[in-house]
Structure 1
Amino acid sequence: MSTVVVGFDGSEQARRAVLWGAEEAGRTGADLRVVHAVRAPLPEPVFTPMSVPVREFVSEETLSRAAEDELAGLARELRAARPDLRLETRVRVGRAADVLAGEPGDVLVLGSSGRTGIAGMVLGSTTAELVAAGGRPVVVTRTGPLDGRVVVGVDGSDISAEAIAHAFSYAERHGRQLLAVHAFNDAGWAELPEQDVDHVRADLAKLLDDQLAPHRSRHPGVHVAQEVAFNAPAHALLQAADGAALLVVGSHGRGAVKRAILGSTSHAVLHHAPCTVAVVHRR
C-alpha cells in the first residue's frame, strides 16, 4: 500500500499541503501520514521586573504535546470531510528536514514555506533541502487553480521520462489536460535561416512525440498538447505554468550530503512557479 507523507508545522502553507495530500491519497487509495517535527528552540531572554534578563526554556515535551493537540484537531477536520481516509499523524522530535527525509513513504508533500520562514522568502529552507535530497517525488504546494492543466518539462533524459510518467498518471487521475514542453536553448539557433529553424523545430517536435508515445498508449484518455520552445527551460516552463494546476519537472538527486543544492531549472521553477510543483527524482 502506498503512502503520501505530508510535513506539517501549523502554518497556512502546511495546511494547504495537507489538503493537497488528502486529495491525492483519496484518489490513489493511498494512506496519508501527517508528520509534525518539533525541536526545542534556543532559550529566549525574559526580562524580570528588576530588568535582569533570565532564560526561559520551552521543553521538547511541551512542544510535542502542543503539536499532538494541533494534529488531533487537524485529523478531526480531515475525517469529517473524508470519512474513508486512512490517516495517521505523528509527532517526531528533531530537525524537520532530517525527520521528514527519514520518514518512509512514496511521495512527500510540503508547503512552500513554513511557520518559521523569513518574510519575503518564496521557498523555505527545509522545503528547499528536502526537494534537493532526491529519492521519491516531492510536491511543493502553492495557491493557484485546482482545475488547470498539468505541465511537464521534457528534455530526453531518463529522469525526464519518469517526470512524464508522473505527469500522465496525475492528469489521468484528475481528468486534466497535459502540456509537454521541450525547451531548446542553443544560442546558435537565432543565427539560423528561418527555413533551418523550421527544420530544427520539426525534428524536436518528432523527438518530443517519440518520448510521449509510450505514455500516451498507457493513458489513452489523457488529452496531450506539445510545445517546442526556443527559450531557457525555466522561462519556458514558467510561462507554460500560468493557469496550471501542477508543474512537473525532473531533477537529478545529489544525495544527503549535498542536498542543499538544486539544479538551476528546478531552483527557478520552485521559486517562481505560480502553481504547485512536483519534482521527480531518479529512484
Structure 2
Amino acid sequence: MSALAWAADEAALHRRPLSIVHASVWERFEGDIPAEDLPEGRTEAAALQEIITNAEARARQRRPEVRVHAEVLPGEPIDVLVHVGEDAFALVVGHRGHDALLRRLFIGSIGLGVAERAWCPVVVLGNSAPERPSADRPVILGVGEGTDAGAAHVAFALQEAQARGCDLVAVHARSRQETRQDPPSPGSPAADALLGAALPDRAALESGVIVHRQVVDGPAHHVLTQAAHNADLLVLGVRHRHGMVRRELRPTHHAALRHSPCPVALVGVPSPSPR
C-alpha cells in the first residue's frame, strides 16, 4: 500500500496517468471470470478482483486528479511487470518481508527481479517511505566513475527534484584507492571534476534546481544510505550488461535496496562499449 500511495503521488507530480497491475499465474489458467459467475468455493478470481478494486479506490481517493487504470493480468509477476513497464515513466514496487529483520535482509524476489530486468526506471519502497513528496527533503543522486551530464539517472534525478521543488544533492563516495591518488583536502580536484561533469552548472540553471555537490570518503553503500536519511528519493544508475537484458546490480545497489531509509530509484544506463 505504501508503494501504491507513492506511485499515485508520483503520477500527480508529473501529471501522468497511473496504471495499477496485479499479476497472477492463476489467472493465466482460469481466465477472466466475473466474480458473480464463480461457482461455490471458487474464490481466487474474486479475491484477485477485490485486491485490484481496493487498490484503485485507494489511489483515486488519495489523488482524485490522477487518471487511474487497474487490471489483473495473467502470467508470472516479474514477466508481466517488466512487460507493462517497457514504455513506462517508472515502475514502482514495494518491499516483501514479514518483519523488520526480513525486510533488511531481503527485498523480495519480485522486487529484485523487476529491478534487474526492467528497461524503465524502477522505484523500490520500504516501509519507511515518506508519507508525501516534500520540497523540504532533497533528492539524492549517487555519482560514480563515468557519470556524465547525459546519463539517464542524472536526468531522472533532476526531473524528480524539479517536480518536487526541492534541492538535489549529488554525492560521490570516494574509495580508498581514490584517496591515495587524491589525498583528502577541502577541495578534492578529481572528485570535484567528476561531480562537475555529472552536473554542470548549466544543467542546474536550465532545470531551476538548486544542486549541492558532496564528496564523502568511505564505502559507497554506507555513504549513500547515510545521505538518504531525511531524503525524498535516492537515485542510482544501473548499467545493462553487454548483450543481455539484465541489469548489473552491484553490492552498492543491493545494500541501498535493503537499507535505504527512503525510496530507491534504479535507472538503467548503457554500459561503455568494450574495446
TM over 0.5: yes
**How far apart in 2 are the matches of 1:174 and 1:235?**
26
Deviation of 1:99 after TM superposition, in Å, equals: 1.1
Q: SS of the residue aligned with 2:225?
A: helix
Deviations 1:176-208, CA, capped at 9 Å, x for gaps:
12110112214363587xxx5338713321331
Distance 1:31 1:262, change over 3 A: same
Structure 1 residues 61-210: aligned runs within 5 Å = 62-104=43-85, 105-113=88-96, 119-120=102-103, 121-142=105-126, 143-145=128-130, 146=132, 147=134, 148-158=137-147, 161-187=151-177, 189-190=179-180, 196-198=183-185, 201-210=188-197
CA RMSD of superposed structures (Å)? 3.0
Contact 1:159–1:250 (8 Å) recurs in 2 = no
Deviation of 1:78 after TM superposition, in Å, equals: 2.5
Choose 61-70 or 239-248, whichever is displaced more. Answer: 61-70
**How far apart in 2 are the matches of 1:159 and 1:135?**
20
**How far apart in 2 are the matches of 1:226 and 1:204?**
10
Q: SS of the residue aligned with 1:251?
A: strand
Deviation of 1:227 after TM superposition, in Å, equals: 0.5
TM-score normalised to structure 1 length: 0.76
Distance 1:64 1:92, change over 3 A: farther
**How far apart in 1 are the matches of 2:211 and 2:185?**
22
TM-score normalised to structure 2 length: 0.78
2:203 is matched with 215
1:17 correspondence with 2:3: yes
Contact 1:134–1:254 (8 Å) recurs in 2 = no
Deviation of 1:75 after TM superposition, in Å, equals: 1.7
**How far apart in 2 are the matches of 1:227 and 1:149?**
13
Amino acid at match of 1:28: H
Contact 2:138–2:231 (8 Å) recurs in 1 = yes
Choose 251-260 or 229-238, whichever is displaced more. Answer: 251-260
Q: Which structure has the larger Rg?
A: 1
Please identify runs of 4+ aligned residues in structure 1 that moved more than 3 A.
118-122, 144-147, 254-261
Deviation of 1:235 after TM superposition, in Å, equals: 1.8
2:36 is matched with none
**How far apart in 2 are the matches of 1:187 and 1:203?**
12
Deviation of 1:64 after TM superposition, in Å, equals: 3.1
- Percentage of pairs with the same residue: 30
**How far apart in 2 are the matches of 1:63 and 1:208?**
52
Which ranges in structure 1 are unaligned for 5 or more consecutive residues? 1-14, 42-60
Deviations 1:91-136, CA, capped at 9 Å, x for gaps:
0122111111111422100002268xx9454401110111011411
**How far apart in 2 are the matches of 1:260 and 1:173?**
27
Choose 99-108 or 29-38, whichever is displaced more. Answer: 99-108
Deviation of 1:65 after TM superposition, in Å, equals: 2.8
Q: SS of the residue aligned with 2:184?
A: helix
Contact 2:175–2:218 (8 Å) recurs in 1 = yes
Amino acid at match of 2:144: D
Distance 1:73 1:188, change over 3 A: closer
**How far apart in 1 are the matches of 2:120 and 2:245?**
16
Aligned length: 246
Deviation of 1:71 after TM superposition, in Å, equals: 1.4
Deviation of 1:166 after TM superposition, in Å, equals: 0.8
Q: SS of the residue aligned with 1:198?
A: coil
Which ranges in structure 2 are unaligned for 5 or more consecutive residues? 28-41, 271-275
Structure with the larger strand share: 1
